[in-house]
Structure 1
Amino acid sequence: MTDEERQQQLTAKARVTATLAAADIDRYQLQTVDARLYAYVRQVAGNPAGHCLWEQLSVERFLAMCTRYGLNEREVRRFYAFYESLQFPGTQGPTSYRLTPVQCFQFAAVYGFWHQGRRITKEVCLFVPRKFSKTTSAAAFPLYDLLFGDANAECYLGANSYDQAKKGFDVMRQCVRRLDPRGLRYIVNEDVIKSRRQDRSAFCQCLTANSRTKDGLSASTIVMDEYSQTRTNELYSVLTTSMGIRQNPLTVIITTASDVFDGPFYAKLQGYKQLLLGRYTDDSVFPHLFEPDPDDPEGSPDTWRKVHPHMGITVSQAFYESEYRTAQRDGAEAMLAFRTKLLNIYAENEQRAWISATLARSVMRPISLTAIKGRPDAMAAIDLSESDDFSAVSTAIYSPQAKAFTFHTAYFFPEGALTGHPNERLYRTWAEAGHLTLTPGNVIDYRTIVSYINSVNQHVRLLQIGYDPWKSQEVINMLAATGARGVLRAVKQTYGTFTAPVESFEHGIKTGRITINQNPINAYCFGNAVLDTDNLDNTKPVKRARYQKIDGVITMLMCMRLFMDYER
């Protein structure tokens, strides 16, 4: 989290705390719907220290929607009665559970708002820590649609792995078997629950991220379980784009945090936060997010209670204390698990990386080369792909007054090579957001890169342009032909070349002397880079796995090398 983001959240918390404290909650008559719903809203409004910013903002938004649409008591009570009639598998056998206050709030926000005969809420995100009762909630949504939704309802429970999907689906199967023990109304198979009634063809199906989905789907309810773990948006996209004919479609994401920053959910989570902060308006989306506030100590029971609204119900404080001691004792991997699964924050094992993606994000700022005034001196460096992956161009500006570096990196990829690429979905997401420039053809179009570098030179004065002498000859010839011959410099890709830039860059980023442009590909590259050492103790970043990329890291270090070697 950057200092700017931290301050924004602290300011937002002060504002929403004051707003909820001044709210006349009694006028919404929530107690006539259910005392638990009223108690939850009262608790969040009256105890700001015990509830995180995002939880407060959800309550504020809920009250605003009560004003706008009114709360449909009949629909809310109907769902409550349905949930509490289900018998879920438990340690003592089939068990019915009473809804907790926080669950009453969540389900009221989903099923309580209607306009002109249509349900308002169509997309739900429950971002909650482990042991929150996610499995029972994940089962309840599709089961409700199966029993009471459209006659031809299609309900899908999706997950990243087969084991995860089956875990949730098995709960659904057992619930249906308890409702229909003789199998007169429903056929219950390993992966499908289907109505036997001739006037009702509704069904539920279990799917995984690698399932072979087909055209012709018409999903009415989708539940994506532990969506934060997936690196592909394919299953989610196939299912959600099939919902067009449904009047009351419902997409539910129920997940705990993870260390997968380059997956589709992390980006969605940022969007949910912007929605709650009021940056845009969409009443069809209901996010309920739990994580610590800025500056909350991770080892404090107060933080644990804030993060986990079922503390003392489905999980104990003693369990958190034990897990925290274990994490402190067992090292980075155990602490990563504690932070992601129990504190519900996106985190990574910072011991794996040279400069972690988290640290890289903390120094990212919106930087536009076209907005830079005075045409300052700068260095540029190019790292070209062999043929079918992205290329990077970094520009580095040094401020003698501030003794600080500003880095801007642009990324390019051949559009024709996207289909079937191992990172296709990720690259398409970046391209759609404007973070990755697609060039025509199946291999990288050097003309696009040359044109980009020449355009950069209109806003900064490029003192040198660094390149890898082993694989850059064609683009170097093109740059030379445009008049750049005098500033082209070969930068050998040896360990000895990178040792000094590695040390200087690490010191600069940790002391606030380095700023990087706000592009998620930068953080992705840093998260993939680990330091390797040769037999002379020289160091260079290398990628951890075959399909991971570190090109932006390399070009930034090449710029640093150029500054070190430059003689006026």
Structure 2
Amino acid sequence: MIISLPGVPKRTPFFILGGGAVDDFRTLKNYKPSRFKAAGSVYKERFADSAVYFVNNLRHTKGRWYGEPFELIDWQEQIIRDLFGIVRKFDECRQFRTAYVEIPKKQGKSELAAAVALLLTCADLEHGGEIYGCASDRSQASIVFDVAVNMVDQFPQLSKLMKLNIGQKRLTFTPLDSFYQVLSADAYTKHGLNAHGVIFDELHAQPNRQLFDVMTKGSGDAREQPLHFIITTAGTDRNSICWEMHQKAEDILRGKRIDPTFYPVIYSAADDEDWTSEEVWRRVNPSLGITVTMETMRQSFEDAKQNPVNENIFRQLRLNQWVKQSVRWMNMERWDSCDFKFDPKALENRICYGGLDLSSTTDITAFVLVFPPEDEEDKYVVLPFFWIPEESLETRVRRDHVPYDLWKAQGFLNTTEGDVIHYSFIEKFIEELGKKYNIKEIAFDRWGAWELTQNLEGLGFTVVPFGQGFKDMSPATKELMRLTLERKIAHAGNPPLRWMADNLCVSTDAAGNIKPNKQKATERIDGVVALIMALDRAIRNEGALPGSVYDTHSLLMYGEDGWN
């Protein structure tokens, strides 16, 4: 039950659990209050002790730690003691109103955020307290909330005082009529809230600053000691609210800025540090060896050495560095090692899948056929075709410094009459290809030229619309890299396709999914986009055939736990 003790100020968070003593728990050795404790503030050990005591009576909710007491790791306890133990002298309210904690993945941040949410809801003696969980969407915000619910379920003394509304995603602490509730990112409906606490998870994924501004500016003005607890991994967008908060935290840490209400914590490797150093890994991952193993770090590092995309993901998620969203992607030495020659005539009548990237009528149009392997020793054979308008050929050579004229002379590039691409010519070309090769499907950008694709369908081809977002493009894009690394693809060194592979940049989302980024690419990448679409259809339709490489390999997917 919640009680106030004689001589204990009203605002002291104090929780009596089955008669246990407050000093009956592990404390952080050699604890020193934050160097950002203001001159007008004091550290109240009893306040901090009772907050730590409450958290240590919670239990872990996942994996091998499930059911074990939540014994705070040193870095976590430092934060709890600083936030709840450092108070202003004149009214004993908390000094810090905003905590910004930026830390790599898998360090126990969801558990810490859930513990803070329950502290504010149940152990802060705030009658009618409103604590809100926010993230980029309701699903992300529910991650911390679900951890909190699980913690309550494992805490009998607390569970009988809580009421759960699963539909509203709300936990109510009945003695104080205070609650913890999940909010979506729809900021327009959140005005008028009176927040005692706000838990922001993965601030870097916020699509804009609206929800953050609504929840931190004005909401909670009637509260004596509101707390905005922000916990996130580094992001990629340096025009975001998260980057703004990151810079503020860095300025305070470096002494360039003073804000006694702002509590900054950043665990990250500097941009110029050796990202391959295990010493750096240990420093920036304070829970290494507890919540994440060195073996896992080493495996992620081995993946990262293979290509720049994995390196970016490792740097962002494991070292907490703000990386560029788009990176030059293909290792060209590995690409060139797949320069296996083949005779197009030997492919006649074989099953294949097409990818069509029409671009605009004045740019390069690409059509790529992918022939799946027929046995375990075979490779994915890539047969590309490209077109540009005839009249713009010389201008393009001078302007782009790209040897389109040479490629045309060598037979690697086709032209159509005039200054724009004539799709009717491409239709007839593909029709002739269909007489040579057994084209099962043709994938195309669903926002592309519907008239051309409908005409192809009228010629008897099966055409499949293909989205250009992360969901559709990521699996086959990653698979293209793996096939290249394993030398399971044959492209015969086609010069335009090689040029485009060297141009390719990819974008990465918060979950580690990737897609080609035409805006970030310095030159054309149409052929690789068409290749990815064709490869996707080949994998999905032929992957289970006897003797296929996919009998023993599955599509690579990347999530929080790495490659799956």
Report the TM-score, using the length of structure 1 for normalisation: 0.52
5+ residue gaps, structure 1: 1-31, 42-58, 355-493, 501-525, 536-568
Is the 2:134–2:185 Cα contact (8 Å) retained in structure 1? yes
Match of 2:203?
227
5+ residue gaps, structure 2: 1-22, 331-394, 402-516, 527-564
| Matched AA of 1:136 | E
Give the secondary structure class of the aligned counterpart of 2:37. Answer: helix
Match of 2:94?
119
RMSD (CA atoms): 3.2
Counterpart among 194, 198, 202 of residue 218 in structure 1? 194
Matched, 1:267 2:244: yes
Matched, 1:201 2:177: yes
Match of 2:140?
164
Counterpart among 85, 90, 93 of residue 57 in structure 2? 85
Match of 2:550?
none
| Structure 1 residues 369-415: Cα deviation after superposition (integer angstroms, max 9, x where no partner) | xxxxxxxxxxxxxxxxxxxxxxxxxxxxxxxxxxxxxxxxxxxxxxx
- State the shift of 1:36 in Å: 5.1
Is the 1:221–1:250 Cα contact (8 Å) retained in structure 2? yes
Could you tell me how far apart the structure 2 residues matched to 1:317 and 1:338 are? Answer: 14
Could you tell me how far apart the structure 2 residues matched to 1:496 and 1:532 are? Answer: 13
Q: Sort the Cα spacing of 1:328 and 1:349 in 2 relative to 1 into closer, same or farther, 3 A.
A: farther
Match of 1:248?
225
Counterpart among 132, 138, 145 of residue 120 in structure 2? 145
Could you tell me how far apart the structure 1 residues matched to 2:234 and 2:182 are? Answer: 22
- State the shift of 1:136 in Å: 0.8
Matched, 1:135 2:110: yes
| Matched AA of 1:96 | P
| Matched AA of 2:209 | N
Is the 1:272–1:287 Cα contact (8 Å) retained in structure 2? yes
Q: Sort the Cα spacing of 1:94 and 1:296 in 2 relative to 1 into closer, same or farther, 3 A.
A: same
| Structure 1 residues 413-454: Cα deviation after superposition (integer angstroms, max 9, x where no partner) | xxxxxxxxxxxxxxxxxxxxxxxxxxxxxxxxxxxxxxxxxx
Give the secondary structure class of the aligned counterpart of 2:522. Answer: strand
- State the shift of 1:339 in Å: 0.6
Could you tell me how far apart the structure 2 residues matched to 1:271 and 1:82 are? Answer: 31
Give the secondary structure class of the aligned counterpart of 1:208. Answer: coil
Is the 1:333–1:349 Cα contact (8 Å) retained in structure 2? no
Match of 1:188?
164
Q: Sort the Cα spacing of 1:326 and 1:185 in 2 relative to 1 into closer, same or farther, 3 A.
A: same
Match of 1:98?
71
Match of 2:47?
75
- State the shift of 1:87 in Å: 2.1
| Structure 1 residues 241-294: Cα deviation after superposition (integer angstroms, max 9, x where no partner) | 211111100001101112232321012101111122222211111011011245
For these two proteins, the number of residue pairs brought into alignment is: 320
Is the 2:326–2:520 Cα contact (8 Å) retained in structure 1? no
Give the secondary structure class of the aligned counterpart of 1:530. Answer: coil
Give the secondary structure class of the aligned counterpart of 2:163. Answer: strand
| Structure 1 residues 57-97: Cα deviation after superposition (integer angstroms, max 9, x where no partner) | xx8xx235276523110111011100001123132542312
Is the 1:37–1:102 Cα contact (8 Å) retained in structure 2? no
Match of 1:529?
520
Is the 1:324–1:338 Cα contact (8 Å) retained in structure 2? yes
Identical columns (%): 23
- State the shift of 1:34 in Å: 9.3
Q: Sort the Cα spacing of 1:97 and 1:333 in 2 relative to 1 into closer, same or farther, 3 A.
A: same
- State the shift of 1:528 in Å: 5.0
Could you tell me how far apart the structure 2 residues matched to 1:225 and 1:240 are? Answer: 14
- State the shift of 1:171 in Å: 0.8
Is the 1:332–1:349 Cα contact (8 Å) retained in structure 2? no
Could you tell me how far apart the structure 1 residues matched to 2:248 and 2:207 are? Answer: 17
Match of 1:549?
none
Give the secondary structure class of the aligned counterpart of 1:63. Answer: coil
Is the 1:231–1:264 Cα contact (8 Å) retained in structure 2? no
Is the 2:101–2:232 Cα contact (8 Å) retained in structure 1? yes
Is the 2:117–2:131 Cα contact (8 Å) retained in structure 1? yes
Match of 2:265?
288
Give the secondary structure class of the aligned counterpart of 1:144. Answer: helix
| Matched AA of 2:208 | T
- State the shift of 1:315 in Å: 1.4
Give the secondary structure class of the aligned counterpart of 1:318. Answer: helix
| Matched AA of 2:58 | L
Match of 1:310?
287
Q: Sort the Cα spacing of 1:534 and 1:205 in 2 relative to 1 into closer, same or farther, 3 A.
A: closer
Could you tell me how far apart the structure 1 residues matched to 2:525 and 2:121 are? Answer: 61
Give the secondary structure class of the aligned counterpart of 2:200. Answer: strand
Could you tell me how far apart the structure 1 residues matched to 2:104 and 2:25 are? Answer: 25
Report the TM-score, using the length of structure 2 for normalisation: 0.52
- State the shift of 1:352 in Å: 4.8
Give the secondary structure class of the aligned counterpart of 2:181. Answer: strand
